[in-house]
Amino acid sequence: MKKILLVYNPVSGHAAFKNRLDAVIESFQRRGILLSVYRTQADDNSAFADCVKLSGVEGVVAAGGDGTLHAVINWLKKNSLDLPVGVLGSGTSNDFATHLQLDDETFFDAVATGHTQAVDLGLINGAKFFVNVASAGVFTSIAHEVNSRLKNFLGKSAYYLRGLGELKNFRAVTFDITADSEKFSVEAFLFLVLNSPAVAGFKKISGIAKVDDGKLDLLALKKCSTAGLLGLTKKLLAGEAVDGDENILTLQARTFEIKSAAQLVGDFDGEAGDSLPLKIETIPRAINFFA
Confidence of residue 164 (pLDDT cuts 50, 70, 90): very low
Three-state secondary structure call for residue 143: helix
Q: What percent of the chain is predicted at pLDDT more than 70?
A: 87
Q: Give me the domains of the chain, ranges plus CATH numbers.
A: 2-114 (3.40.50.10330), 128-280 (2.60.200.40)
**CA atoms of 264 and 141, how far apart (whole Å):** 9
pLDDT band for 160, please (50, 70, 90 cuts): very low
Q: Is the pTM of this model over 0.95?
A: no
Q: How far apart are CA 234 and CA 245, in angstroms?
A: 12
**Can you tell me the distance from the alpha carbon of 19 to that of 255, in angstroms, rounded to the nearest whole number?**
42
Which one is predicted more confidently, 13 or 97?
97
pLDDT tens digits along 113-122: 999 999 999 9
Q: Report whether pLDDT(288) > 90.
A: yes
Percent of the chain residues topping a pLDDT of 90: 63
SS3 190: strand
DSSP letter string, 158-181 = HHHHHHHHTGGG---EEEEEEETT
Beta strands at 182-194 and 133-137: parallel, antiparallel or unpaired: antiparallel
Q: Return the C-alpha torsion angle 71, 74, 75, 81, nearest 10.
A: 140
Contact assessment for residue 286 and residue 119, using Cβ atoms and an 8 Å cutoff: yes
Asked if 259 contacts 175 with a C-beta cutoff of 8 angstroms, the reply is yes
What is the number of residues in the chain? Answer: 291
